[in-house]
């Protein structure tokens, strides 16, 4: 079945790379936000379900898959590598896998669009198959560092040839007999950890990854779920993961929980707009993803977690969020891995809190879909919020009331800057405009409509 990308669909076009920007305006609504939103599937888990399904023997059935562009790129790449992937509608997908080592040489370039996760995890898979492939991405992804995966993966026997600075496009000659790696992560990155583990699946012997700080563990959880032998050992603030190579992964059922990183945007809007009370259903609550909730509890936010349950092996709950006064906090750097994608929206929330909020240790934000540290600071300062960057820290001077707004935010092909700015505009005195909301489709395809259903005032152009 053909993959149709959502942005192309929204534009009424049946083609990829629809090269059109989508300016948007966000205004304070006349009343509080009200209602219930079902949170779209977790992006990290969705990528992994398709990739592990393609490496398993037999059928994998997925429910709640995020049908955002990033994940559709992964589906398309895994198809080019020989997996049979079908969309049954309503977030239900199936994957007929080829087994570890069974992927075939792709007949075309693998275009990973805007997705760093898809590109980096796939490097681990491609390094461990004796095939030739070429990978590229959009202008944002082509600017992002890939050496963090290609340098360690070269020790498997794979060869990578890239542009200057290790940037995409990348040519990959996978190892004929992949060697297992022992690697200590120099940066706290679940993507790097996962790339090493994925290569280790097709290596004889034990692959060992040491992470000095614990990062999201969806790969480890899902590998176990598919039948791999994975041992996770606590080690100080981090972990050591031991994976036994060449297991037989068996197709499995995966229920994808709602993405806490997507839930963060309607959650923030409800906190900022007076009179709001919103229910967010099915939000993933993996403890390695809930740093934002820890921060918001310290800020005095009114958030109740109801119906705690396990879905697809991950903790899930419904969040009930109400507007209220917030106080400034100091966010320690060790919290970063558990909320790495939530700093732009936390900075927006901090702009409404009373006092100065300091977000520490944000160096990794410089290499996300955009330089998110600079883009977040520019978003706020262009809308009447005083901010400073000191080293790797961001300081937001909150006023305890609505900031002025009135700015035009440059989103730099970054979905989280776009959604953050649109949430900001729900609370500011003047409207906030963004230059391009098209990239929101990478992670939250129905954001615009779902937010309007809660009462948000968002307009195209
Ligand atoms: C992800 C890990 C994080 C995160 C990204 C998704 C993953 O990146 O920012 O959105 O699915 O493993 P890093 O591992 O580079 O921090």
Q: What pLDDT does residue 19 have? A: 60
* Cis amide leading into 316 (omega within 30): no
Q: Got the DSSP string for 381-419?
A: HTTT-EEEEETTEEEEEEESS------EE--TT-HHHHH
Instruction: Tell me if 8-41+258-460 shares its fold with 43-255.
Output: yes
Of 11-15, 26-30, 77-81, 414-418, least confident by mean pLDDT is: 11-15
For the CA of 364, the nearest atom of ligand 1: 16
For the chain, the distance separating the N- and C-terminal CA atoms, rounded to the nearest angstrom, is: 34
Residues 101, 202 contacting (CB under 8 angstroms): yes
- CATH 3.65.10.10 is held by the domain 8-41+258-460: yes
pLDDT digits (tens, 9 = 90+) for 19-34: 689 999 999 999 999 9
Residue 117 CA, ligand 1 centroid: distance in Å? 6
**Can you tell me which atom of ligand 1 is nearest the CA of 48?**
11
pLDDT category at 153 given cuts 50, 70, 90 is very high
- The pLDDT > 70 percentage for the chain reads 96
Active site residue 84: no
CATH superfamily placement of domain 43-255:
Enolpyruvate transferase domain (3.65.10.10)
Please name the helix (run of DSSP H) or strand (run of DSSP E) that holds residue 308, with its range, or none: strand 302-311
Length of the chain: 461
Q: What is the dihedral of CA 61, 141, 333, 441, to 10 degrees?
A: -50
**Bridge partner list, 167:** 163
So what's the pLDDT on residue 313? 84
- Give CA–CA dist 228/222, Å, rounded: 9
Beta-bridged to residue 93, according to DSSP, are 62, 87
| All structural domains of the chain with their residue ranges | 8-41+258-460, 43-255
Helix (H) or strand (E) holding 126: helix 116-127
Tens of pLDDT, residue by residue over 328-352, are: 999 999 999 999 999 999 999 999 9
CA of 189 to the centre of ligand 1 (A): 6
Ligand 1 pocket mutation pick from 46, 216, 343, 345 by most atoms within 8 angstroms of CB: 216
pTM as predicted: 0.96
**How far is it, in rounded angstroms, from Cα 359 to Cα 371?**
16
């Amino acid at each position: 079945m053909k993959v149709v990308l959502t942005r192309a669909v929204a534009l009424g076009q049946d083609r990829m790379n629809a090269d059109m920007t989508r300016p948007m305006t966000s205004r304070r609504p006349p009343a509080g936000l009200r209602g219930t939103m079902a949170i779209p599937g977790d992006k990290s888990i969705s990528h992994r379900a398709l990739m592990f399904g393609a490496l398993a023997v037999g059928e994998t059935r997925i429910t709640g898959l995020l049908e955002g562009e990033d994940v559709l790129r992964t589906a398309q790449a895994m198809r080019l590598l020989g997996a049979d992937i079908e969309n049954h509608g309503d977030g239900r997908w199936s994957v007929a896998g080829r087994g570890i080592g069974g992927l075939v040489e792709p007949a075309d370039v693998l275009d990973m669009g805007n997705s760093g996760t898809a590109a980096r995890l796939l490097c681990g898979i491609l390094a461990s198959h004796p095939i030739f492939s070429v990978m590229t991405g959009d202008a944002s992804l082509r600017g992002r560092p890939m050496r963090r995966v290609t340098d360690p993966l070269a020790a498997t026997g794979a060869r990578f040839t890239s542009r200057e600075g290790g940037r995409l496009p990348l040519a990959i000659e996978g190892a004929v007999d992949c060697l297992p790696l022992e690697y200590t992560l120099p940066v706290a990155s679940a993507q790097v950890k996962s790339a090493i583990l994925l290569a280790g699946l097709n290596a004889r012997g034990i692959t060992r990854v040491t992470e000095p700080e614990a990062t999201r563990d969806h790969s480890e959880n899902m590998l176990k779920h598919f039948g791999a032998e994975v041992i996770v050992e606590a080690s100080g603030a981090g972990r050591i993961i031991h994976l036994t190579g060449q297991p037989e992964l068996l197709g499995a059922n995966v229920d994808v929980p709602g993405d806490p990183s997507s839930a963060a945007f309607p959650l923030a809007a409800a906190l900022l707009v007076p009179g709001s009370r919103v229910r967010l259903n099915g939000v993933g609550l993996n403890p390695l993803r809930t740093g934002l909730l820890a921060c918001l509890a310290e800020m005095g936010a009114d958030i109740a977690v109801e119906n705690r349950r396990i879905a697809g092996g991950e903790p899930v709950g419904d969040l009930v969020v109400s507007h209220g006064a917030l106080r400034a906090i100091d966010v320690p750097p060790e919290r970063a891995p558990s909320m790495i994608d939530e700093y732009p929206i936390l900075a927006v929330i901090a702009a409404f809190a009373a006092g100065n909020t300091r977000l520490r240790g944000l160096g990794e934000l410089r290499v996300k879909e955009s330089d998110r540290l600079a883009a977040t600071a520019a978003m706020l300062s262009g809308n009447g919020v005083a901010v400073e960057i000191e080293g790797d820290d961001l300081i937001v001077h909150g006023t305890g009331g609505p900031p002025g707004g009135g700015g035009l935010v440059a989103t730099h092909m970054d979905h989280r800057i776009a959604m953050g700015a649109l949430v900001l505009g729900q609370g500011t005195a003047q409207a906030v405009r963004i230059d391009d909301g098209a990239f929101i489709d990478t992670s939250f395809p129905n954001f615009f409509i779902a937010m309007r259903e809660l009462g948000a005032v968002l307009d195209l152009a």
